[in-house]
Structure 1
């Protein structure tokens, strides 16, 4: 396989870390690395190569949550998920709808409804919870609008209309009275930036954050992905990483700052991205095709980031292959493998289960609806399911049209 070239911006970030937000023209000041010693470095090239990463190495046996299915909650896809005050919030952007379930999987309610009327949304692509005030923000990417609902009364509060100064925004985070919304553009412009900082009351843009040329190798075209670019939304410092970025950013009330730099000689180079951007440039028809990178032995698309008990995990692409990474923040050890298996379900489990949420107690993974038929055929029908697993009978009874299944694993004690 052909290597694309050496990683550029990761090393640059270590030498000179840029401040996150500037004025509306996207200005930013440079901050020497000496003032950013808390930046975590994950070196993929020095990682231990494993055949597979195993849940049992860091997690306890799961509590199984079989989500109730009824005419009011038929889930096609889990595009975002959060847990708040014991309830599970699931966004299905294909319906679109925001569903609320209890921890035992029973359906509680839907928040808001699609429509053109007062308090209704048109499309949904992300959501964020104001945990201090019990308010949820649903991002309507068709209208560039955040709809606010009271989580205790389920009532509609208001909507925040923002100005579309990019092309389409799909990811949104609420933090400290501000909305952070991703920004896309139709132009290959060096002044393009990735995030808009929005006043949570007026919808006015306060600042432009993270120049695309510095933090995403110049890429800023509107490309919809099946997940948000924001992670760890339930923490004081949610994380943000773009499609071609090697730097995971922390969004805090004090500002945006680098949290983790991912190093590899195989990370997609800025030179390669320049050609890709040129090939995808504006014309009579916009063609944002990145499939050529799948045929090349380069790394890109850090995603599914979760913070575990003293560890972090994420997925990334290396050519056409999805790789899984686990990094110990204390010892600095790193492991990578082509799969991360929940071996509690059955031996040699090869059914993909994306880690999608973590808190101080444990981590939540999801068996998506598109993998349920394979789970039934390869696990249930062949008698492979571990009979000691929680909710064994419920799992044995799931059908091809069932809702997703969730698995909540508590952390294993790491004290010695």
Structure 2
């Protein structure tokens, strides 16, 4: 999902990053992360085949090309029960529901100012248990709810803060609200709210700017602070944080995974470089070989795989739970769908996990940048559609 439109940050986005960050704001929260990795001292592996982690890969479906279903882009996708839900935030401003075969079922709401409409389609999240979908209406300052199966409008609640991301988990909505404001008073406020879906009331707050190296800036590489995981829980990471936070079964947010490195961006670095939420500031950090920006968090019973940026390059961390050891991986190769094709060249974007495997999606526009060799080889040749009306596709890789 792309929150910043320049080519420079788009590359950063595709490079998906998983930031592992510390937790503040509650005395009950534990101080030590479940997993810790010192990336300066672990073994470096040049390439890692996808078959090391997954036993199979497949194209689940191509999305319907009916006129009402056409998407100008896909900024986010969730697989919720029997449904594939795709958001086009900036081009056609719509949220579309498809079945598992890619057949278009209906849209959720519409852009406008009337009842059941949204002024600004900023984010969405699903409650699979109740069959509800929640839309975060940024400019409208509201959260709207609808039924997934019929698209029926249910209700709207006012937001207490200017949220940019939402995630449904354990009967509540978790909402991230950064800010461009600065100052000590602002730095002490919380970045994450847990709210009651029925009325928008704040139930609990977590994480001050200290978690994000003193920054409250909303800058993100993958468009969301929430990392795709199984329904009912989440992982969270902000761009400068070196910890991934997790939600436990008791509703507490705690440090789950920490990446330590002498090169990880620090609060002093941000002050020294006068960081602002712009391309120039990021370029300075990357030119100094600073590490930051975790995303694409994938976890099985045996392994954790995530990404981060250092300099202008993406690297991956592979953590083996049984052996309690980690590796830095320079490049992933897909030997399940392609013949050891560089995984990054496939332009697949992360859509979450069902616990048994991982979903990815290929957005409509990204198919143009696939190499001809890859594009014309099975199974990718299946993506060819008449009149170049490709509307996106869903992929699935099953864990070993």
TM-score interval for Structure 1 and Structure 2 normalised by the shorter chain: 0.7 to 0.9
Secondary structure in 2 matching 1:51: strand
**Any gaps of 5 or more consecutive residues in structure 1?**
1-8, 22-27
- Relative to 1, partners in 2 of residues 1:287 and 1:144: Cα closer, same or farther, differing over 3 Å? farther
CA distance in 1, matches of 2:30, 2:163: 31
Report if aligned partners of 2:45, 2:329 keep a CA contact under 8 Å in 1. yes
Displacement after TM superposition at 1:271 (Å): 0.9
Q: How does 1:143-292 map to 2 (within 5 A)?
A: 143-164=140-161, 168-189=162-183, 190-213=187-210, 215-223=211-219, 225-252=221-248, 253-276=250-273, 278-280=274-276, 289-292=281-284
Corresponding position of 1:106: 103
CA distance in 1, matches of 2:58, 2:221: 29
Report if aligned partners of 2:244, 2:257 keep a CA contact under 8 Å in 1. yes
CA distance in 2, matches of 1:169, 1:356: 21
Q: How does 1:51-66 map to 2 (within 5 A)?
A: 51-64=46-59, 65-66=61-62
**Any gaps of 5 or more consecutive residues in structure 2?**
1-18
Q: Deviations over 1:181-240 (max 9, x none)?
A: 111223223314321222322222333310112x00011023365421112453343111
1:357 maps to 2:352: yes
Corresponding position of 1:338: 330
CA distance in 1, matches of 2:82, 2:71: 20
Q: How does 1:366-385 map to 2 (within 5 A)?
A: 366-375=361-370, 377-380=372-375, 383=376, 385=377
CA distance in 1, matches of 2:324, 2:176: 31
CA distance in 2, matches of 1:233, 1:181: 16
Corresponding position of 2:9: none
CA distance in 1, matches of 2:101, 2:292: 37
Secondary structure in 1 matching 2:40: helix
Structure with bigger RCO (C-alpha 8 Å, 6+ apart): 2
CA distance in 1, matches of 2:280, 2:201: 29
- Relative to 1, partners in 2 of residues 1:175 and 1:103: Cα closer, same or farther, differing over 3 Å? same
Pick which of 221-230 and 261-270 moved more. 221-230
Number of aligned residues: 373
Q: How does 1:23-34 map to 2 (within 5 A)?
A: 28-29=26-27, 33=31
CA distance in 2, matches of 1:308, 1:135: 27
- Relative to 1, partners in 2 of residues 1:333 and 1:101: Cα closer, same or farther, differing over 3 Å? farther
Corresponding position of 1:404: 392
- Relative to 1, partners in 2 of residues 1:373 and 1:119: Cα closer, same or farther, differing over 3 Å? same
Displacement after TM superposition at 1:322 (Å): 1.8
Report if aligned partners of 2:44, 2:330 keep a CA contact under 8 Å in 1. no
Displacement after TM superposition at 1:279 (Å): 4.4
1:41 maps to 2:22: no
- Which consecutive aligned stretches of 4+ in structure 1 deviate over 6 angstroms post-superposition? none
Report if aligned partners of 1:308, 1:363 keep a CA contact under 8 Å in 2. no
Displacement after TM superposition at 1:74 (Å): 2.2
TM-score, structure 2 as length reference: 0.84
Q: Deviations over 1:366-398 (max 9, x none)?
A: 233343112263423xx5x24xx4xx6523447
Pick which of 312-321 and 233-242 moved more. 233-242
